[in-house]
Chain A
Amino acid sequence: SAVISQKPSRDICQRGTSLTIQCQVDSQVTMMFWYRQQPGQSLTLIATANQGSEATYESGFVIDKFPISRPNLTFSTLTVSNMSPEDSSIYLCSVSSAADTEAFFGQGTRLTVV
């Protein structure tokens, strides 16, 4: 199993500002992902964080809005840039050791943009 620490757990931010969310895993993992869970909705994959290279974004998500870093096998950050109230969501980090294996999730970051 993997233990994921995600920071901050929650934040209230002003529109137009940016927030960086950190995801730290207690062991080296092959795959790291960022999801968004909008109020009352399911989880939507934002991107796959690739170590040492640019993240792979899903349709509807772009690097300028959601820049992602992954400097090593245990750490990643997601930045929500130039925020608007529509960005108010829970953002979750997820990891797995290999394809088709169990995915583990952080507790999430509850973001409110005012």
Chain B
Amino acid sequence: GNSVTQMEGPVTLSEEAFLTINCTYTATGYPSLFWYVQYPGEGLQLLLKATKADDKGSNKGFEATYRKETTSFHLEKGSVQVSDSAVYFCALLNQAGTALIFGKGTTLSVSS
């Protein structure tokens, strides 16, 4: 079945540093790919998504490109802020195309 492998954390960065969180997937076909974020004390929320190969999802300065050749969907941000401290989850749809399958999550801590 579909699965996702995500870089394990924690990741600790200084403010304005460059961020990359790696995510690779195994899937039948080309399912939509997602990054979800969980800020401290809050519920899980969608950060960005890409629905087909070469699509780039972006939001709040974060970007991820759907790479079919490398089966990857790495999350990047050029300059992180303290407010970006959260847990980030890479996800894709299951084979039925209904529910999400999540990676293990990566905790990001940004210090000023």
Chain A positions near chain B (C-beta within 8 angstroms):
4, 31, 33, 41-45, 48, 92, 94, 96, 99-100, 102-108
Closest 9 CB pairs of A and B: A105-B44, A42-B104, A107-B43, A43-B102, A99-B97, A42-B102, A105-B43, A102-B46, A45-B99
Neighbouring B residues of A92 by C-beta, 8 Å: 43-44
Neighbouring B residues of A105 by C-beta, 8 Å: 43-45
Main SS class of interface, A: strand
Known contacts A99-B97, A100-B97; A42/B49 CB under 8 A: no
A102 to chain B, nearest CB (A): 5
Q: Residues of B within 8 Å of A, CB-based: how many?
A: 22
Please state if B100 and A99 are interface contacts (CB–CB under 8 Å).
no
In Å, the complex CA distance between A108 and B42 comes to 9
Residue pairs across A and B with Cβ atoms less than 8 A apart, 27 shown, are A42-B102, A42-B103, A42-B104, A42-B105, A43-B44, A43-B89, A43-B102, A44-B102, A45-B94, A45-B99, A45-B100, A48-B98, A92-B43, A96-B98, A99-B96, A100-B31, A100-B32, A100-B93, A100-B97, A102-B49, A103-B99, A103-B100, A104-B45, A105-B43, A105-B44, A107-B42, A107-B43
Please state if B93 and A99 are interface contacts (CB–CB under 8 Å).
yes
Given A48-B98, A99-B97, 15 more A-B residue pairs with CB atoms under 8 Å apart are A4-B43, A33-B100, A41-B105, A42-B102, A43-B89, A44-B102, A45-B99, A92-B43, A100-B51, A103-B46, A103-B100, A104-B45, A105-B43, A105-B45, A106-B43
Task: Tell me if B101 is interfacial: C-beta within 8 Å of chain A.
Answer: yes
